[in-house]
A = this chain, B = another copy of it.
Amino acid sequence: MQAEIITIGDEILIGQILDSNSKWIAEELNKIGVSVYQITSIQDNKQHIVSALKQAQKNSDIVIITGGLGPTKDDITKITLAEYFNDTLILNEEIVENNKAMFAKMNYPFTEINRQQALVPSKCIALKNNWGTAPGMWFNKNNKVVVSLPGVPNEMKGLMTDSVLPKTIESFNLPYIIHKTILTYGMGESMLAEKIEAWENQLPSNIKLAYLPNYGRVRLRLSGKGKIKNELEKSISIEVGKLEKIIPDLIIGFDENETIEVAIGKLLKDKKQSIATAESCTGGAISKMLTAIPGASKYFMGAIVAYNAAVKVSELNVSKKIIEDNSVVSGEVAEAMAIGIQQKFKTNYAIATTGNAGPTTDVTDKSVGVVFIAIATPTKVFSEEFFFGKPREKVIERASTKALEMLRKEILKN
């Protein structure tokens, strides 16, 4: 079955905002096995809405419209839909009560304009909005569905998740689809694909694998389709188990939104261990990533950004001789920095970076894009040399992610 998404409003057409609502809806529809035929952004104009809707209904079983449901006069979606379905607006008392309660809770006066938000076409099913005052609307005429949702992202997402997606599965009797995401760090997409090729080839025909790469991180998404939920869940869990045996050190978690800094935070908290960073070319980026996690103060002691060579000497105890003998961008200096911060902040682990982020090389003989990363653990210190290319921001981002990846492997060993 096919869907079409229509976005109403000028912000997208004047290039002010990205149409992230449509991306989100498309992704969610694909997850339940509905393919999206077309995405259309149109003006907030009656004629345009009607023509886009007519066109969309030719090709699709379900049309999802977002935007144009605010209380101001220029939002005419609701009236246009009522006309399109030869319908009239009636006051939905349930929605009135819902909105009154919401306003009371926030201590806002409930005005006539707010009451009108509860006016909906009589033939539609009003979908309760727990995040705002404009209800969603579900029209079904001859088994062709049209859904209208507010454009505010969290309201749209709430209504999709709670009402539209389950109702779509039910109305169109869709097969059961389960997704399982496996988060991996530390290997590029093509190498990873080679490593797990045999496993991928033996997957049952109702389970598909998708690679979703993103800067040093590759999400593997298994999508299983079937009629019996229990069997499907069991079958996916067996396949995940097999994969865990093939790449145990690359998998950092199964939560779509987990990041390597979250994974490291959990490990350190569990083990009651601590970390500090000594950063040169990454300029505080690793510290920023680690402290972006709530509760980081439990295991993150602090960082020294030693951007200047003199600071490496005075604050991190790197000897001048090591710098002179090896260049300030070297494995030896990175290791000395790691030991320096580990001792100073009395932590179990330490990360240090030194490199040329570019675009030009100021002070060293090493090329732009070269970064040395050192890790100090309770028992050793070591460093690796990397080439992260350009531009500057990518070098910083890649070096930071790589450093956290190296750290995680060491924590797992101890």
Q: Does A302 contact B (CB under 8 A)?
A: yes
Determine the residue in chain B with the shortest Cβ distance to A391: B294
**In the bound complex, do residue A363 and residue B304 qualify as a contact, i.e. CB atoms below 8 Å apart?**
no
Residue of B nearest to A345 (CB): B311
Chain B proximity of A1: nearest CB distance (Å): 14
Select the stretch in A32-40, A86-94, A247-255 that faces chain B. Answer: A32-40
Question: How many chain A residues touch B (Cβ–Cβ < 8 Å)?
Answer: 69
CA distance A30 to B10 in the complex (A): 12
Q: Does A273 contact B (CB under 8 A)?
A: no
Chain A 373-412 interface 0/1 with B at a Cβ cutoff of 8 Å (1 = within) = 0000000000000000000110010000000000000000
- Contact A302 B311, beta carbon cutoff 8 Å: yes
Question: Please, which residues of chain B bring their CB within 8 A of the CB of A244?
Answer: none
B307 touches A301 (CB 8 A): yes
In angstroms, Cα B277 to Cα A294, docked, is 22
Instruction: Give the distance to chain B from A225, nearest Cβ to Cβ, in Å.
Output: 16
A215, chain B: closest CB distance, angstroms: 14
Q: How far is the CA of A361 from the CA of B409 in the complex (A)?
A: 31
Q: Which of B18, B55, B285, B360 contacts A20 (CB 8 A)?
A: B18
Contact A15 B23 (CB under 8 A): yes
Contact A301 B308 (CB under 8 A): yes
Q: Which residues of B contact A101 (CB under 8 A)?
A: none
With contacts A287-B284, A288-B288, A294-B358 taken as known, whether A23 is within 8 angstroms of B27 at the C-beta atoms is no
| Min CB–CB distance A343 → chain B (angstroms) | 12
Asked if A239 is at the interface (CB within 8 A of a chain B CB), the reply is: no
1/0 per position for A282-307, CB-CB distance to B under 8 A?
01111110111011110011111111
Please indicate the chain B residues that have their CB under 8 angstroms from the CB of A15 in the complex.
23-30, 36
Assess whether B392 is in contact with A294, with CB atoms less than 8 Å apart.
yes
- Looking at the complex, which one of B24, B35, B43, B359 makes contact with A37 (CB distance below 8 Å)? B43
Query: Within the complex, what minimum Cβ distance (angstroms) separates A258 from chain B?
Result: 16
A41 CB contacts on chain B under 8 angstroms = 22, 38-40
20 A/B residue pairs, CB under 8 Å, sorted by A? A12-B23, A13-B39, A14-B26, A14-B35, A14-B36, A15-B25, A37-B48, A55-B55, A283-B291, A284-B291, A291-B305, A292-B396, A297-B363, A300-B308, A301-B308, A302-B305, A302-B307, A302-B308, A304-B304, A311-B345
**3 interchain residue pairs of minimum CB distance:** A283-B291, A15-B27, A284-B284
Known: A284-B287, A294-B358. 13 other contacts (CB 8 A): A14-B30, A18-B23, A37-B48, A38-B52, A39-B40, A40-B40, A277-B305, A284-B305, A287-B287, A291-B305, A294-B357, A295-B362, A305-B305
